[in-house]
Structure 1
Amino acid sequence: MLKWIFRFGTPLLGVGSLIMLTLIVTNRELPTAIFTEANFQSFKILFISIILEAFPFILLGVLFSALLQVFVTDELIQKWTPKNPVAGVLFGALLGLLFPLCECGMIPVVRRLIRKGMPAYIGIVYLLAGPIVNPIVYTSTYTAFRTTPEMAFARMGLAFAVSFIIGLLLYKFMKRSPLKAMTRQQHEHSNTDDHEHQHGHDHRHHRSHEHGVSGKGFRSRISSTMAHASDEFFEMGKYLIFGALLTGIIQTAVDRSTLAVFAEQPVFSYVFMMGFAFILSICSTSDAFIASSFSGIFDFGPLLAFLVFGPMIDLKNTLMLLSTFRIRIVLALIALTASLTFIGAWLTEVFI
């Protein structure tokens, strides 16, 4: 069933995205039976803003991923990756301090690291913690919550704790690679690049000592880097567009006046804010400013759940995850992240 959904859902969503882009560019409107003029204007703003916000981070992610593929050997990745599972989980949870990528650009990088030899549980920990546990997100959160700076510390701490626990669980129970099998074209492309990389490694002593690689060899690697980056950009980009399309439609249909009703429910407010973060799919570098606008409606705990769950799991991110990882792993990650975030945010509000 899911096979048919992915096979026919992608072209249908692609057609829908093209229709929306055409209407936006030509400044035309949908029939009022579907959208009012005000709602359609809101949709256009949301749809474009999500894409523009995520575009540079995806581009950064695929470029970094391509550089890893072409210039970094499997042996180097395996050498620098801790062998001890606890140290490995700590390494993955804190890797965002060195490579502060947004969640939009994380998936191609993590996929490449796993294929290069990094243990999958460490890569997934980096995927979960990296978008939050980094200096850029800390600064934006601290700025957005100037009157309650403890939110920035709580966000970093809870994100670290959730990713650390999930990493230990994955190490214990995940017995096979979480990645989907490569297509024949991807496999041939990867084998070609690996062969060229190995060939270059074997003959590096015959190259110019001053430059390390010959001009032809260096140009070949740059060309291979661009080819990898373009392939992964279009693969990840289509899911970003689909996610932005669905997010814009759903978010436009939600009436903000109903938020106060959900905020009055002590337990359901957490679930609602996590679901709201999932639907909004806002980049982790800017979602703190959205959360702070609800500080007069929701308490500390639900806002913290919003800030932690959203960057780890959201709508566009889930579509990208499903394109990269096995469905069973994605569902397990969603369930674990949601449960641990809920418990952690509730306990944080109780003790703060």
Structure 2
Amino acid sequence: MPLSRISKEVVGLLLIALFIFLFFFIDSINLTHLKSVIPKSWLNVNTIFLSIFFEAIPFVLIGVFISAFIQTFISEDTLKKVFPKNYLLAIIPAALIGLIFPVCECAIVPIVRRLIKKGMPLHVGMVVLVSTPIINPVVFASTYYAFSTFPSMTYYRLGLAGFVSVVIGLIVYFLYGNRDVLRESKKPEKHHHGTHHVHRSRWQETLYHASDEFFDTGKFLLIGAFVASLFQTFFDRSFLMGIASDIHLSPLVMMGFGYVLSICSEADAFIASSLSHTFSVPSLLAFLVFGPMIDFKNTLMLFAYFKKGFVIGFICIVVAVVYLSVVYVPILFIGIR
């Protein structure tokens, strides 16, 4: 195993241990001296940051361990057995597969690639790719907890994600059929099922998968929580309110925010909740639905595993469907703004 991979796994395991320790014992650490020398505005940043971060961490830990377990113990052939033979009927269970096999947005890309190589229709694979990171029990729980004062957001998110996933699947089916859009990549697949070394048990491999994924996930959560806390503390409220009040611009801004931050779907609800006093429900839904489907990190993976023309077309489809859905579907069917 390369030294860099070993170092990453060790750091990931140490971070898991550190975050568990801080989660239970942060209140016992004496920060009185630091509070006397740090400006009040930065103390506010610190408070918001820690609030977002430590609320999200338990769900991230649950998510990475479930995802790692599935990577190690569940084969793609098992997943394929869930889907009916009919191309169009298969879209529905594909949109709901995350309820049984919850996998994060970075791990799902190589899994979908392998499923397509084994004969899964392209459009069904794309539905699995966009739906699984959102429509799963861990994301349901984290969103419900993050929006405890507005629990309907949880159902709006999962319902809209299901609707969007089905529409994306139908568009991909009619535009691309079942043509070959995979590229032969020399890049090794990071989350490959069954690649554990002979001297490791499957449970050891699960632990290492979890630490590796937690390392990747944790850094994006750190960045997202920090940016959100800076937004709330230093950003010009009048400017933010100007963007948020524009029902056509604000969803695009929040979609861009979700794309750049690349926060995992188990934690992004806490970032959205911290902005709920500024942005409308459709704008928050744009962030919560688009980010897990397409973000910066899984775009790189899509270009590694699929042909460039298809990836560009697929991203355009997702952008258009999500934007039109969050702008018009909530207004027409839910009555929210």
Q: TM-score normalized by structure 1?
A: 0.63
The one of 266, 280, 296 equivalent to 2:277 is 296
**Partner of residue 274, structure 1:** 255
Q: Secondary structure at the match of 1:100?
A: coil
**Partner of residue 268, structure 2:** 287
| Amino acid of the structure 2 residue aligned with 1:176 | R
Task: Work out the percentage of aligned pairs sharing the same amino acid.
Answer: 35
Q: Note if 1:92 corresponds to 2:73.
A: no
Q: How many pairs does the alignment contain?
A: 287
Tell me the CA shift for residue 268 of structure 1: 0.7
Gaps of 5+ in 1: 1-36, 195-218
Separation in 2 of the partners of 1:125 and 1:269?
Answer: 26
The one of 312, 321, 328 equivalent to 2:293 is 312
| Amino acid of the structure 2 residue aligned with 1:127 | L
**Partner of residue 180, structure 2:** 177
**Partner of residue 161, structure 2:** 159
Cα distance change on mapping 1:61 and 1:147 into 2, 3 Å: closer
Contact 1:244 1:316 in 2 (8 A): no
**Partner of residue 345, structure 1:** 326
Q: Note if 1:64 corresponds to 2:70.
A: yes
| Amino acid of the structure 2 residue aligned with 1:151 | M
Cα distance change on mapping 1:53 and 1:91 into 2, 3 Å: closer
Tell me the CA shift for residue 349 of structure 1: 3.6
**Partner of residue 263, structure 1:** 244
Cα distance change on mapping 1:225 and 1:160 into 2, 3 Å: same
**Partner of residue 113, structure 2:** 111
Separation in 2 of the partners of 1:185 and 1:295?
Answer: 40
Gaps of 5+ in 2: 1-41
Q: Note if 1:127 corresponds to 2:129.
A: yes
Tell me the CA shift for residue 253 of structure 1: 8.9
Give the alignment's Cα RMSD to 1 decimal: 4.5
Greater C-alpha Rg = 1
| Amino acid of the structure 2 residue aligned with 1:296 | H
Separation in 2 of the partners of 1:99 and 1:159?
Answer: 16
Cα distance change on mapping 1:224 and 1:133 into 2, 3 Å: closer
Separation in 2 of the partners of 1:151 and 1:301?
Answer: 10
Tell me the CA shift for residue 269 of structure 1: 0.9
Tell me the CA shift for residue 274 of structure 1: 1.0
Contact 2:220 2:263 in 1 (8 A): no
| Amino acid of the structure 2 residue aligned with 1:169 | I
Q: TM-score normalized by structure 2?
A: 0.65
| Amino acid of the structure 2 residue aligned with 1:117 | G
Cα distance change on mapping 1:287 and 1:229 into 2, 3 Å: closer
Separation in 2 of the partners of 1:136 and 1:339?
Answer: 27
